[in-house]
Structure 1
Amino acid sequence: MEPEMSRSKAAARIRAAAVAEFAEHGYGGTTTRQIAARLDLSPAAMYPHYRSKEELLFAISYEGHRETQEVLAESDLPGEQPVVRLRSLIAAFTRWQAAHHALAKVVQYELGALTPEHYLTVVEVRRSITALFRSVVEKGITTGDFDSPDAEGVTLALMSLCVDVCRWFPAGAYTDPDAVATLYADLATRLVGAEPATLG
């Protein structure tokens, strides 16, 4: 069941305030009163838009996953060699995690707070994202461009690598999402064991 995503400015402001609170204090450590206070509203003023804190989290999580899915669709290069396609996807995925690190942190690490029904809805989108990456890895293995015996394991490693960016970004010398995107595209190339000939 997809959430009925309100496009009103008020609902968008509530989601933004909730992302900031959830990212800073965690879902469990945040109350609707705190979210409302950030907007100088009463908790009752949030109710017409979101009936519960969990419903608000669901809207944020679903929206974040769908936005990621759209970014990846725009960045995919189906006609290119597997390594070129993988680098483009990894760079886009990593860049989104860094550029939207507060939202990504909520999206990636608060799934367990969703109701079973809402969790399954979000996980369906999440699985489609993983399936996209796995299809590219499998293609590279089939063509011989990638030197890896385990498409599933490599895919999980790639996804974990990118998803974790939101936990630490920004840090040290890495304050530019584009720089992290380039770094992770290089790391992904090495992780799949891409043949040197495919990198030219």
Structure 2
Amino acid sequence: MARRPAGTPHRWASNEREARELEAAWAGVVETETARRLMVAGVLAFAAKGYHATTTRDIAEHAGLSPGGLYVHFRSKEELLYRIAVLGTRQTLERVREAVAEAPDDPEARLGAAILALVERGARYHTTSRVIEDELRSLDGAHRAEVAGLRREIEHTVRAILEDGVRRGVFEVADVPVTALAALSLVVDVARWYRVSGRRSPAEVGALYAELVGRMVRPTS
């Protein structure tokens, strides 16, 4: 078992696996190792205590820094949350686009690939996804708008696949925008219930959800 860093509260220990995966996912993307440690610490702290109850001291101590260490790399706690939210959302968008591009030129295959990618990331990084979802309102206006724009790009990707499927006669959808939102609502909820101790892996949950969403849009006759 990995040893917790000095000063890590025991209540955060269950998220150590995700912390390691975040370290790997953000390596080479976040400019310094220390900034990356602070972002991971921020995810764990915000998940455990909520954004407003978390202090910069909490985050810095978890990252193994002095109480004021956060301010060397981030102007504020809000900027740290923004960096977590914008990077996490951008990487999700990139993964979805990549999955859709790799899928065959078939609406069913492309929709399945998009949903699988979304769910797999939502399950694998469930703590991060939950923090982004719960704390988006804590960002200032410009930062919140930037993250919301990335989320709309994800929605537009799913909507475009549905529209293509309707045009080709593959999908039967009365209202494409509402159906896209319904599918994405299912996806977002995965982060709230998924646990690494469960019986299904992120990929298995993704495949199941891809099948469920596919059933939603296939012709009934």
For these two proteins, the number of residue pairs brought into alignment is: 192
Name the Cα RMSD after superposition. Answer: 1.8
> C-alpha offsets along residues 130-189 of structure 1, whole Å, 9 cap, x if unaligned?
100000011111211111111011000011111111111117844410110111011110
**CA distance in 1 between partners of 2:62 and 2:162 (Å):** 44
**CA distance in 2 between partners of 1:29 and 1:114 (Å):** 15
Q: Is the deviation greater in 33-42 or in 112-121? A: 33-42
Counterpart among 57, 60, 69 of residue 81 in structure 2: 57
Other structure's SS at 1:30 match: coil
Instruction: Give percent identity, aligned residues only.
Output: 37
TM-score (norm 1): 0.90
CA contact (8 A) 1:83 1:194 kept: no
CA contact (8 A) 2:41 2:63 kept: yes
Which of the pair has the greater relative contact order for Cα pairs under 8 Å at 6+ separation?
A: 1
Quote the residue 1:179 is aligned against: 204
TM-score (norm 2): 0.81
Other structure's SS at 1:110 match: helix
Quote how far apart the aligned CAs of 1:36 are. 1.3
Other structure's SS at 2:72 match: coil
> C-alpha offsets along residues 13-60 of structure 1, whole Å, 9 cap, x if unaligned?
000000011122221221111111212322311101011110000000
* Change in CA separation of 1:46 and 1:105 when aligned onto 2, cut-off 3 Å: same
**CA distance in 2 between partners of 1:67 and 1:52 (Å):** 23
For structure 1, list consecutive stretches of 5 or more residues without a partner in the other structure.
none
Matched, 1:22 2:46: yes
Matched, 1:125 2:150: yes
> C-alpha offsets along residues 100-129 of structure 1, whole Å, 9 cap, x if unaligned?
111111122211000001111111111111
**CA distance in 1 between partners of 2:169 and 2:129 (Å):** 34
